[in-house]
Amino acid sequence: MATHKILLLPGDGIGPEVAAEVSKVLAWFTRAGIAQFETETDLVGGAAIDAHGVPLSEAAMDRAKAADAVLFGAVGGPKWAGVGYAKRPEAGLLRLRKDLGLFANLRPAICYPALAEASALKRELVEGLDIVIVRELTGGVYFGEPKEIVTLEDGQKRAVDTQVYTTGEIERIAAVAFDLARKRRNKVASAEKHNVMKTGVLWKETVTRLHAEQYADVGLEHVLADNCAMQLVRNPKQYDVLVTDNLFGDILSDVAAMLTGSLGMLPSASLGAVENGTRRALYEPVHGSAPDIAGQNLANPIAMIGSLAMALRYSFGLLEAADQLESAITRTLASGTRTRDIAGPGTNAVGTTEMGDAIVRELQAQAG
Ligand code: NAD
Ligand code: IPM
Ligand code: MN
Q: Which atom of ligand 2 is nearest to the CA of 246?
A: 12
CATH class for the region spanning 109-267:
alpha beta
Q: Which atom of ligand 2 is nearest to the CA of 137?
A: 12
For residue 334, the CA-to-ligand 2 centroid distance in Å is: 30
The pLDDT score that the predictor gives to residue 113 is 86
DSSP state of 34: S
**Taking CA 237 as the corner, what is the angle to CA 236 and CA 241, rounded to the nearest 5 degrees?**
90
| Residue of minimum CA distance from atom 4 in ligand 1 | 290
Distances in Å between the alpha carbon of 366 and those of 67, 210, 268? Answer: 30, 43, 25
> What is the Cα–Cα distance from 104 to 125, expressed in whole angstroms?
28
Binding-site residues, ligand 2, Cβ < 6 A: 90, 93-94, 250, 286, 288
Residue 216 clears pLDDT 90, i.e. is over it: yes
The pLDDT score that the predictor gives to residue 241 is 98
Q: Which residues contact 183 (CB under 8 A, 6 or more apart)?
A: none
| Residue of minimum CA distance from atom 12 in ligand 2 | 250
Which of the ligands is closest to the CA of residue 301? 1
Greatest Cα pair distance, the chain, in angstroms, is 74
**Identity of the residue numbered 359:** I
| Fold topology of 1-103+272-368 | Isopropylmalate Dehydrogenase (3.40.718)
User: What's the pLDDT band for 77 if we cut at 50, 70, 90?
Assistant: very high
Which of the ligands is closest to the CA of residue 75? 1
The pLDDT score that the predictor gives to residue 153 is 98
Question: Is 314 annotated as ligand-binding?
Answer: no
Using an 8 Å Cβ cutoff, are 68 and 4 in contact? Answer: yes
- The per-residue pLDDT for range 80-137, each reduced to its tens digit, is 999 999 999 999 999 999 999 999 999 999 999 889 888 889 999 999 999 999 999 9
The pLDDT score that the predictor gives to residue 363 is 98
Q: How many angstroms from the chain centroid is the CA of residue 144?
A: 21
Average pLDDT rounded to a whole number, residues 30-50: 97
Which three-class secondary structure state does DSSP give residue 112? coil
For residue 20, the CA-to-ligand 2 centroid distance in Å is: 21
Average pLDDT rounded to a whole number, residues 195-211: 98
Using an 8 Å Cβ cutoff, are 318 and 106 in contact? Answer: no
Average pLDDT rounded to a whole number, residues 177-206: 98
Distances in Å between the alpha carbon of 308 and those of 2, 3, 362? Answer: 17, 16, 16
- The per-residue pLDDT for range 221-272, each reduced to its tens digit, is 999 999 999 999 999 999 999 999 999 999 999 999 989 999 999 999 999 9
User: What's the pLDDT band for 158 if we cut at 50, 70, 90?
Assistant: very high
Q: Which atom of ligand 1 is nearest to the CA of 75?
A: 40
> What is the Cα–Cα distance from 88 to 82, expressed in whole angstroms?
8
The pLDDT score that the predictor gives to residue 118 is 85
Mutate to test the pocket of ligand 2, among 93, 136, 289 (most ligand atoms within 8 A of CB): 93
Same fold flag, 1-103+272-368 and 109-267: yes
Distances in Å between the alpha carbon of 154 and those of 137, 150, 157, 199, 329? Answer: 37, 12, 9, 32, 58
User: What's the pLDDT band for 1 if we cut at 50, 70, 90?
Assistant: confident
Average pLDDT rounded to a whole number, residues 43-63: 98
The pLDDT score that the predictor gives to residue 46 is 98
Q: How many angstroms from the chain centroid is the CA of residue 221?
A: 24
User: What's the pLDDT band for 65 if we cut at 50, 70, 90?
Assistant: very high
The pLDDT score that the predictor gives to residue 269 is 98
> What is the Cα–Cα distance from 230 to 226, expressed in whole angstroms?
7
> What ipTM, to 2 d.p.?
0.98
| Residue of minimum CA distance from atom 4 in ligand 2 | 250
Task: Report the share of the chain in percent with pLDDT over 90.
Answer: 94
- The per-residue pLDDT for range 334-359, each reduced to its tens digit, is 999 999 999 988 888 999 999 999 99
Cis peptide before 267 (omega within 30 of 0): no
| Residue of minimum CA distance from atom 10 in ligand 1 | 290
Known catalytic residues?
142, 193, 226, 250, 254
Q: Is the minimum distance from the CB of 295 to ligand 1 under 6 angstroms?
A: no
Segments making up each domain of the chain, as ranges: 1-103+272-368, 109-267
Average pLDDT rounded to a whole number, residues 14-27: 98
The pLDDT score that the predictor gives to residue 273 is 95
- The per-residue pLDDT for range 283-317, each reduced to its tens digit, is 999 999 999 999 999 999 999 999 999 999 999 99
